[in-house]
Structure 1
Amino acid sequence: MTVLIATDLDRTMIYSAGALAEGSSPAGTVCVEHLDGQPLSFMSSRAAELLRALTRTAVVLPTTTRTVEQFRRIDLPGAPWRYAVTSNGGTVLVDGEPDRAWRDGVDRAVRDSAASLADVGSELDRLGEPDWILKRRTADDLFCYLVVDTAAMPSSFVRDWGHWCAERGWNVSQQGRKVYAMPDAVCKSRAVAEVRARLIADGVLPDTAPVLAAGDGALDAEMLRAADAAVRPRHGELEALGWECPGLTVTAAAGATAAEEILRWFANRIPTGVAT
């Protein structure tokens, strides 16, 4: 193996039924996640084939803001995974189990640099229960997010909430109906760098192995910027922001077929190649 590929999942590789309706429609889909027996997330059939093929020639690292429990619901083509990153970098899974030492280090970094989750929760309590907040969730005792009615949410909320959080070592981003509050110390790029170091130490990757990355949201931005080369779909939060960085490619396609384009982009940058 010569390349480490870190890829976001939701709206980069996999798509909800609603997200499937956005952008170009794939020729066929496969369900990759169920919740309470109901289909929840999908990939294009071709993207599933390409991802499975990619794992034969590169180290693919699923890298998601989902919690451990939410990640475990996904039947992602190419599994089983030696490593996966969940909780926005707060958790490194090794053969499906959380690495305790990594999480302890993340917790220390948050304590040393940011307000506590309880403090952030207390500030959210001051909002009361406005109709535009549909749900409020805490994820893996690391960060929190709101599920909102985007049409009813005050236009200044994300900006004002972001200012409050920024002064306390947290950042705020909106991805669709979810508004995240995340400690700055919890980020995907640090976890990706840790996995790369372990793979080099184990002899799986050479010490010259580049990192390629893909993602669509603001929480992916630092991972894309830290990678040797990166790609994002022509949809999502980063597209809405017009976000760019050196070494970034933007797909021509929007919607679920963008995943196929991303996977071909990865394959074309692996020395051994992958059939497309």
Structure 2
Amino acid sequence: MTALIASDLDRTLIYSRAAMTRAQLDRGDLLCVEYHEGAPLSYLTERSAQRLRELSTTAQLVPTTTRTPAQFRRIALPGGPWRYAITSNGGAILVDGEPDPVWRGGLDTAVRAGGAGLDEVLTALRARISPDWVRKLRIADDLFCYLVVDVDVQPAEFLAEWDEWCRAHGWGASQQGRKIYTVPDSVCKSHAVAEVHRRLVADGVLSEDSPVFAAGDGALDAPMLEAADAAIRPCHGELETLNWQHPTVTVTEEAGVTAGEEILAWFAGSTRMPSGS
């Protein structure tokens, strides 16, 4: 195993129907990898599935998502099962599918020391939102929260003003489509990726100088992309909207589910392994 690959999932490797173009939806090679309440929800292409299976045998591939452990377990991602996965935006490290209590205990301590608690944040958030434009308020893994909003009637100033309050209290806010995330600064994918890398080195699976490659599409992924030796993001999503750039981050030429294929081919090339194309 020559490298650690940390990849976001939604709108990076897997895609809902809403995240694909009509032409992509009409492809005959889509593979459904997630069902929710009996309905198909997330897809990738058969080529992406093939590349995932290949990468899982040539590198340490670590699914890295803002989903909670329960939401992550709904995905039948090709190449699994995974020795390590990162969920809850770095709030949980799953070891053979189960959250590591030692990691979570240390993280809870860091969150308490870093600023406001979740209850304080929720109180401040509820005072600023309205059912006129907020459809749901969800708490994720007792660590952070997110809103599901009607973007068309969301107040234009809300995100900037809410993020300003958050930053003064050790948290941050970002928006990905219809979801507005509010997350403590201590809960970060890059911290969890570094810990998984440390453990793999300690276990003799990786060497100290084994590189880290990463992919993601949202602002919550940016620290992980910056911390990696090299990374890639799709030419869609929150980072594209922000025109976010970094010297070590490549941007795909393709958008939508085809970007997933391009990202996996880039991983294969970066680890100097066959891409499966």
Shorter-chain-normalised TM-score: which range?
A: over 0.9
| Residue number in structure 2 paired with 1:190 | 191
Return the offset for 1:125.
2.1
Contact 1:57 1:273 in 2 (8 A): no
Give the Cα–Cα distance (whole angstroms) in 1 for the partners of residues 250 and 24 of structure 2.
19
| Residue number in structure 1 paired with 2:128 | 127
Return the offset for 1:52.
1.1
Give the Cα–Cα distance (whole angstroms) in 2 for the partners of residues 263 and 184 of structure 1.
29
Q: Structure 2, unaligned stretches of length 5 or more?
A: none
**Equivalences for residues 237-252 of structure 1 within 5 A:** 237-252=238-253
1:21 partnered with 2:14: no
| Residue number in structure 2 paired with 1:100 | 101
Contact 1:61 1:84 in 2 (8 A): yes
CA offsets 1:64-103 (integer angstroms, 9 cap, x no match): 0000110000000011000000000000000000000000
Contact 1:23 1:253 in 2 (8 A): no
Give the 3-state SS of the residue equivalent to 1:55 in structure 2. Answer: helix
Return the offset for 1:235.
0.2
| Residue number in structure 2 paired with 1:72 | 73
Give the 3-state SS of the residue equivalent to 1:209 in structure 2. Answer: coil
Give the Cα–Cα distance (whole angstroms) in 1 for the partners of residues 199 and 150 of structure 2.
42
Q: Which runs of 4+ in 1 moved over 4 A?
A: 22-27
CA offsets 1:235-274 (integer angstroms, 9 cap, x no match): 0000000001121100000111000000000101113444
Return the offset for 1:131.
1.3
The TM-score normalised by the length of structure 1 is 0.97
- Report percent identity of matched pairs: 58
Contact 2:218 2:239 in 1 (8 A): yes
| Residue number in structure 2 paired with 1:143 | 144
Q: 1:83 corresponds to which letter in structure 2?
A: Y
Give the 3-state SS of the residue equivalent to 2:65 in structure 1. Answer: coil
| Residue number in structure 2 paired with 1:215 | 216
The TM-score normalised by the length of structure 2 is 0.97
The RMSD of aligned alpha carbons is 1.3
Give the Cα–Cα distance (whole angstroms) in 2 for the partners of residues 22 and 226 of structure 1.
35
1:8 partnered with 2:1: no
Give the Cα–Cα distance (whole angstroms) in 2 for the partners of residues 92 and 50 of structure 1.
24
Contact 2:50 2:276 in 1 (8 A): no
Change in 2 beyond 3 A, CA 1:12/1:57: same
Give the Cα–Cα distance (whole angstroms) in 2 for the partners of residues 233 and 271 of structure 1.
21
Give the Cα–Cα distance (whole angstroms) in 1 for the partners of residues 77 and 111 of structure 2.
30
Give the Cα–Cα distance (whole angstroms) in 2 for the partners of residues 190 and 27 of structure 1.
39
Q: Structure 1, unaligned stretches of length 5 or more?
A: none
How many residues align structurally? 276
Return the offset for 1:129.
3.5
Contact 1:27 1:45 in 2 (8 A): no
Give the Cα–Cα distance (whole angstroms) in 2 for the partners of residues 70 and 234 of structure 1.
25
Change in 2 beyond 3 A, CA 1:119/1:59: same
1:170 partnered with 2:171: yes
Contact 2:91 2:107 in 1 (8 A): yes
1:270 partnered with 2:274: no
Give the Cα–Cα distance (whole angstroms) in 1 for the partners of residues 23 and 132 of structure 2.
30
